[in-house]
Amino acid sequence: MTKPVIVIGAGIAGLATAYRLAERRVPAAVFEATDVVGGRMATLRSNGFSVDSGADGLLDGYRATWSLLTELGLRTEVVSLRTPTAGVWRAGRIHVAPSSLFGAPMFTGLSTSTKLGSVRLAPAVLRPARFDQVTVADMVREVGGRAAEELLNYGVEPAIRGLFGWDVEQSSAGMVLRILGAARGRIRLRTYRDGMDTLARELARRTDVRLGAAVREVRPDGAGVAVVTQDGVMHPAPACVLAVPAPIAVRLTAGCDVHPFVAAATYTKVACVDAYLDRPMPPPGVYGVTFPSVDEPVLGWAAFESAKPGRTPVNAQVVRLAATGAFGASFADDPELAHDTLLARAAEYFPGLLESVVRTRPHYFPHGLPEARADAQPLFTSFQSRPHGPVEFAGDWTSIPCSEGAVRSAVSAADRVAEWVGRSSS
């Protein structure tokens, strides 16, 4: 019997890849290090709470995700958020962010002249490739004219950091424009009724998933590969797909000849604390608030889980407090101090918060979101046209840096593997 292709990682990319391989009549087994599926789209359930540990939602323009949901009969599992837009904190209050690019001139968080100047950014969406190697900050400086500085500090920077955890001085403007294009310019968040892991759980039900199967190494083995698990067992396979963040893929494929983009695909670290409260807290009218880093060096973002219908008990609330990129690094050095500092900062904006906290749960993602650095974009382009081989890749870093990118990557990974396996067996 033909040995299955081994997919490493049961995040949404790995599970969707295995599903797409089955469609192409290529048997696949998914090896997952932890004892749950979903990766950065997992959901934690306890005492009536269903709290997403990573991704919060999906956008209407997530074409690959919606088509997979349709195939699996899951479209009705997606619900609107009670307050689907986010806000920016400026001058003592929340300013509701526009839910579409066209709404930018109405954003009250900017002065009138800067609001008008923001329309200069709109044509850039039509030519993302022009800005691939330009950082987000440089693009705003280039096209924003006199509005550039305020637009960057109080519009673009908080939005980009809130959405991707990115440093605007590093990440590619072209990539942001592609994501906006994928979302058709509309940022209106939806979520799953029963948790962001809904799609992963359904895919896992249809797939051969081996939990607690951490992979230690991938080695070339004849025309195929040998996948070595943590227990030292070697699993020969015609091909494998590394559906893990790029820095993990680099470590696992140290003995293989892989494209240099794999090493250049860096990730931002994301540190946050979920604060469980024993009262609902007045609804802020937005799903989440982002804090411009020119004014706030510690707290990057606060999100209110009760905006997701049915996920928190009626008389409770969970507030997710995310650190800024710079402050997030301190979670690795002194997690207790970083946790207390983050909560104390949040209490400055949300009076009474500390008194209502009954427990907290910290999350630290060493590989939070692909950074899509402007200087790595030439390698990204050549990675897209790399030759086929027995070691393949999937995940958000191989496409656009969000869950939609992970789902999209599954189609191309499955196509490439099916072709390779077909070629090497004939």
Ligand X SMILES: Cc1cc2nc3c(=O)[nH]c(=O)nc-3n(C[C@H](O)[C@H](O)[C@H](O)COP(=O)(O)OP(=O)(O)OC[C@H]3O[C@@H](n4cnc5c(N)ncnc54)[C@H](O)[C@@H]3O)c2cc1C
Helix axes 198-205, 12-23, angle to 10 degrees: 40
Residue 39 touches ligand X, criterion: CB under 6 A: yes
Residue 368 touches ligand X, criterion: CB under 6 A: yes
- Tell me which of 54, 144, 155, 328 binds ligand X, using CB under 6 A: 54
Q: How far is the CB of 230 from ligand X (least distance, A)?
A: 8
Task: Name beta bridge partners: 366.
Answer: none
Nearer residue to ligand X within complex by CB, 328 or 389 = 328
Q: How far is the CB of 264 from ligand X (least distance, A)?
A: 17
- Helix or strand run (H / E) with residue 237: strand 234-237
Burial of residue 426 (number of CB atoms within 10 Å: 0-12, 13-18, 19+)? exposed
DSSP character for 48? T
Nearer residue to ligand X within complex by CB, 312 or 409 = 409
Residue 238 touches ligand X, criterion: CB under 6 A: no
Residue 61 touches ligand X, criterion: CB under 6 A: no
Residue 9 touches ligand X, criterion: CB under 6 A: yes
Residue 40 touches ligand X, criterion: CB under 6 A: yes
Residue 248 touches ligand X, criterion: CB under 6 A: yes
- Tell me which of 8, 156, 209, 418 binds ligand X, using CB under 6 A: 8
Cα dihedral 312/92/341/297 (nearest 10) = 120
Question: Which residues have CB under 8 Å from 116's CB, separation 6+?
Answer: 105, 147
In terms of Cα–Cα distance, which of 224, 227, 303, 231 is closest to 270? Answer: 303
d(CA 174, CA 148): 18
Number of Cβ within a 10 Å radius of residue 422: 12
3-class DSSP assignment, residue 421: helix
Q: Is 330:338 a contact under the CB 8 Å cutoff? A: yes
Task: Write out the two tokens for 17.
Answer: 């890849």
Task: Write out the two tokens for 326.
Answer: 């710079």
By rule CB under 6 A, what string of x and - marks binding of each residue 13-32 to ligand X? Answer: xx----------------xx
Nearer residue to ligand X within complex by CB, 10 or 343 = 10
Q: How far is the CB of 290 from ligand X (least distance, A)?
A: 13
Task: Name beta bridge partners: 219.
Answer: 226
Tracing tokens 């305020």 back to the chain, one arrives at 150
- Tell me which of 22, 34, 247, 296 binds ligand X, using CB under 6 A: 34
3-class DSSP assignment, residue 111: coil
Task: Name beta bridge partners: 89.
Answer: 94
Region near ligand X per CB under 6 A, out of 50-58, 97-105, 147-155, 254-262: 50-58
Tracing tokens 């190494």 back to the chain, one arrives at 217
Residue 365 touches ligand X, criterion: CB under 6 A: yes
DSSP assignment string, 124-182: GGG-GGGGTTSBHHHHHHHHSGGGHHHHIIIIIHHHHHHHH---TTTBBHHHHHHHHHH
Nearer residue to ligand X within complex by CB, 31 or 154 = 31
Q: How far is the CB of 116 from ligand X (least distance, A)?
A: 30
Kind of pairing between the strands at 5-8 and 28-31: parallel
Could you say which residues in the range 172-211 bind ligand X, by CB under 6 A? none
Count of residues that bind ligand X according to CB under 6 A: 35
- Tell me which of 21, 29, 179, 270 binds ligand X, using CB under 6 A: 270
Nearer residue to ligand X within complex by CB, 81 or 147 = 81
Nearer residue to ligand X within complex by CB, 43 or 114 = 43
Residue 215 touches ligand X, criterion: CB under 6 A: yes
- Tell me which of 29, 55, 69, 321 binds ligand X, using CB under 6 A: 55
| Distance between first and last Cα of the chain | 16
- Tell me which of 4, 6, 11, 28 binds ligand X, using CB under 6 A: 11
Task: Write out the two tokens for 229.
Answer: 């698990």
Nearer residue to ligand X within complex by CB, 34 or 108 = 34
Residue 243 touches ligand X, criterion: CB under 6 A: yes
Q: How far is the CB of 39 from ligand X (least distance, A)?
A: 2
φ and ψ of 280, to 5 deg:
-70, -25
Nearer residue to ligand X within complex by CB, 192 or 350 = 192
Could you say which residues in the range 371-400 bind ligand X, by CB under 6 A? 395-396
Nearer residue to ligand X within complex by CB, 14 or 98 = 14
- Tell me which of 5, 6, 7, 10 binds ligand X, using CB under 6 A: 10
Residue ranges that bind ligand X, judged by CB under 6 A: 8-14, 31-34, 39-41, 54-58, 214-215, 243-245, 248, 270, 365, 368-369, 395-396, 402-404, 406
